[in-house]
Structure 1
Amino acid sequence: MHHPIHLALAGLLALSASLAQAGVGLREIAGLQGDGPVTVYYPSSAADQPLQRGPFQLQLAWQGAPVAGNGRLVVVSHGSGSNPWVYSDLARALVAAGFVVAMPEHAGDNAKDPSKPGPDSWKKRPAEVSRAIDAVAQDAALAPLLSLDRVGMYGMSAGGHTALSLAGGRWSPALYKQHCEANIADDFSTCVGLLTELKGNFLDGIKKSVAVGVIRQRYDDATWYTHDEPRIAAVVSGVPAAADFDMASLAKPRVPLALITSGKDLWLVPRFHSDRVLASCAERCTVLAALPDAGHGALLSPQPPLAQMSDLAVRLLGDPPGFDRGQMRAVDTKIVRYFEQHLPVAAAPAPAKAP
């Protein structure tokens, strides 16, 4: 009689061997209820080929035939105004380990339509994640290869805010307003984004006054926003926007929660965001990677072409002097290992019964 551990090891070895020969498939599936497309990376029997997406030259198997991986799904929530391609290195690492990766397009806060960032988007994003899982569950090619009872969630920046919501956190636009009123000078980019910056001249006072005035008009809603998604079983939040959370709600996350921090983040200043989350959940969450020399954009991989960005965007998203981007592959590996730990390999779907 074969020992169960030997059988499990044999299965994992077989999975590793099959994945080593596979490509990274890429397809778009239709979103539900008027959502934008869901971009999906997955193990494929097709070979990778050069694929141009925006300014990025990628190696992927466009619409390649899916093959069985480890049966687990990870949803990635992109940052403000972002796209699926700047997370393709992480997606490749996850697919190499057998995961399927789904990236919803967040309405009004993506590269094609960045018109409604901030709290307007944050209200909608968690439900968009849930519908992305539903969309994958309805896909005829992917659904039979997955067990969706335990899904992983990764989010970065605004996506990190989404991740904290799905880990059980609650937030309100009114807290966002209070944060910006109290810290407009020290956390200006959180409150204003890429619209403008403080330059240490006579215009700074006007910029701060206008920003706070607009925020007071738009974000006085004291409603607590939460979202319950029982299929999410493990969360990684990278450099999250978090100043508007009730930190007590994150003291005991609903699911295992890990954070990635960047010590030189100029967009979401750590002491107002990731540091506060870690102080709240210190005994219940994990620091997956602390990057003291990294900026806000360290988790974008491949990195957006700086030559096509404004000077302000380069300062907020570019790498600080001395930062070694080569270490980010190891960070991707830590994310993969975290999900492997908390989303153990799914059992094979039961065969259909004969009529």
Structure 2
Amino acid sequence: MPSLFFRHRLAQRLLLPAAFVVACSLAVNAAQADSETALPYGPGVAKINVADERPERSLSGDIWFPTPTPGKHSRADKSKVWQMALADTRGTVADGTFPLVVVSHGMYGNTFNQAWLASELARRGYVVAMINHPGTSTFLRDADQARELWQRPVDLSRLISFLIDESEYAPVIDRNRIYAAGHSLGGFTVMMLAGAEFDNARYRTVCDGQDLPVACEVLSGWSVAETKDDQAEMATSRKDDRISKVISLDLGGTPVFSRDSLARFDIPVLVLGSGRADMLNQEIESRALATALPGEKVKHLELPDAGHFDFMGVCKPEGYAILEEHEPGDEIVCIKGHRERQSQHQRILKEILTFLDK
């Protein structure tokens, strides 16, 4: 399911066919996962729920964790289009303490989009948690909640608090190693969580023209920052000091970030961009983000020939043709989506592990 900041009309089209899109849940690099027999843990997964006094802002999602049984997992085969991630739905958490990675999905996405990454990280000793952002997820679309875009980083802060203070997983989470990663709008979200701030003046300037960045179309379509109250909320820092590293996966929204807030970043940032630039202008997005961050804090890689959807799951070999026939236009999510995407996943995973393990 497509993520944030690319063409809004295309985003709507790509996200409507639930039969195919929801089935993308738990996509993974099958060849890589099946060949790795020496990994220390298995990939456990369970549902999580974070209650709130506002019923509409309750959070639901998935938590992935290391299990003590590396060889015990299965792969559901419920989709004609997408491969599924290795998962042990009945697994128990391995002994020890593990880093926590919270992951934010893109525009109208869901927790399944980066499940391939969560499964791989769990097998290597990470706890990974993801929720469906109310208002901007596949299952929870709402105009008012989308307008309150500042709530997305708050969602992640609430998720962290729940996991380390209230959940049954609290004893196994290393509170000194809490990280955040996000794809597309999720990248925008985790950058705000790490200290990036929305700049109302830049938003008005950048988005007042003819050749608009994709972010402008999306934010305008959601009526973001149109009232004084909303402008104040959007400009308020949502920095969570518990985050010690952050990963941006082909984010959209850099043009509306305050340059001062980016220059003040005090934690390491991994910025991964798509070399194919099939959805986002890298010059004003990932490249601009990396340039604006302190040089000693940022590592920027533009993955050769990677596309925006390569940060999502692996398509089956026949996936492109099936979507082209049944949902014309949606096949874009499976362009170079099988073996080429498996190779991209290997590179993405390697870079993320290198960054987090330092």
Compute the TM-score of the two structures, normalised by the length of structure 1: 0.74
- Contact between 2:50 and 2:159, CA under 8 Å: does it hold in 1? yes
Letter in 1 for 2:41: A
Q: CA deviation at 1:133?
A: 1.0
Cα distance 1:173–1:119, how it changes in 2: closer, same or farther (>3 A)?
Answer: farther
Give the match for residue 346 of structure 2.
329
Match of 1:50 among 40, 50, 75: 75
Cα distance 1:81–1:52, how it changes in 2: closer, same or farther (>3 A)?
Answer: farther
- Contact between 1:71 and 1:99, CA under 8 Å: does it hold in 2? yes
* SS of alignment partner, residue 163 of structure 1: helix
Match of 1:89 among 102, 107, 116: 116
RMSD: 3.3
- Contact between 1:88 and 1:302, CA under 8 Å: does it hold in 2? no
> Does residue 156 of structure 1 match 2:183?
yes
Give the match for residue 22 of structure 2.
none
Q: CA deviation at 1:212?
A: 6.8
* Superposed counterparts of 1:13-32, under 5 Å: 20=39, 22-32=41-51
Letter in 1 for 2:132: E
Structure 1 window deviating more from structure 2 (263-272 vs 124-133): it is 263-272
Match of 1:104 among 128, 131, 135: 131
Give the match for residue 291 of structure 2.
279
> What is the count of residue pairs matched by the alignment?
304
* SS of alignment partner, residue 266 of structure 2: coil
Compute the TM-score of the two structures, normalised by the length of structure 2: 0.73
Q: CA deviation at 1:336?
A: 1.6
Letter in 2 for 1:324: E
Cα distance 1:314–1:113, how it changes in 2: closer, same or farther (>3 A)?
Answer: farther
* Superposed counterparts of 1:280-319, under 5 Å: 280-281=292-293, 283-303=295-315, 307-308=322-323, 314-315=331-332, 317-319=333-335
Letter in 1 for 2:39: A
Match of 2:211 among 185, 188, 195: 185
* SS of alignment partner, residue 181 of structure 2: strand
Give the match for residue 235 of structure 1.
246
Give the Cα–Cα distance (whole angstroms) in 1 for the partners of residues 138 and 222 of structure 2. Answer: 24
> Does residue 39 of structure 1 match 2:55?
no
Q: CA deviation at 1:19?
A: 8.3
- Contact between 1:80 and 1:114, CA under 8 Å: does it hold in 2? no
Letter in 1 for 2:140: D
Cα distance 1:217–1:26, how it changes in 2: closer, same or farther (>3 A)?
Answer: closer
CA displacement, residues 33-70 of structure 1 (integer Å, 9 cap, x when unaligned): 14221310001235212336776533211142111355
Tell me: higher relative CO, structure 1 or 2? Use CA pairs within 8 A at least 6 residues apart: 2
- Contact between 1:154 and 1:163, CA under 8 Å: does it hold in 2? yes
CA displacement, residues 135-163 of structure 1 (integer Å, 9 cap, x when unaligned): 21245531111222330111111110012
Letter in 1 for 2:126: F
* SS of alignment partner, residue 135 of structure 2: coil
- Contact between 2:276 and 2:307, CA under 8 Å: does it hold in 1? yes
List alignment gaps of at least 5 residues for structure 1.
1-17, 194-210, 342-355
Give the Cα–Cα distance (whole angstroms) in 2 for the partners of residues 143 and 69 of structure 1. Answer: 11
Match of 1:225 among 236, 240, 244: 236
Give the Cα–Cα distance (whole angstroms) in 2 for the partners of residues 238 and 228 of structure 1. Answer: 19
- Contact between 2:86 and 2:119, CA under 8 Å: does it hold in 1? no
Cα distance 1:49–1:120, how it changes in 2: closer, same or farther (>3 A)?
Answer: same
Give the Cα–Cα distance (whole angstroms) in 2 for the partners of residues 119 and 158 of structure 1. Answer: 12
Q: CA deviation at 1:178?
A: 3.4
- Contact between 1:32 and 1:132, CA under 8 Å: does it hold in 2? no
Q: Percent identity?
A: 22
- Contact between 2:68 and 2:95, CA under 8 Å: does it hold in 1? no
Q: CA deviation at 1:32?
A: 3.0
- Contact between 1:52 and 1:58, CA under 8 Å: does it hold in 2? no
> Does residue 165 of structure 1 match 2:177?
no
**Structure label with greater radius of gyration:** 1
Cα distance 1:133–1:313, how it changes in 2: closer, same or farther (>3 A)?
Answer: same
* Superposed counterparts of 1:190-209, under 5 Å: 190-192=215-217
Letter in 1 for 2:58: D
List alignment gaps of at least 5 residues for structure 2.
1-36
Cα distance 1:19–1:126, how it changes in 2: closer, same or farther (>3 A)?
Answer: farther
CA displacement, residues 189-245 of structure 1 (integer Å, 9 cap, x when unaligned): 43345xxxxxxxxxxxxxxxxx97985994775431321212111111111122210
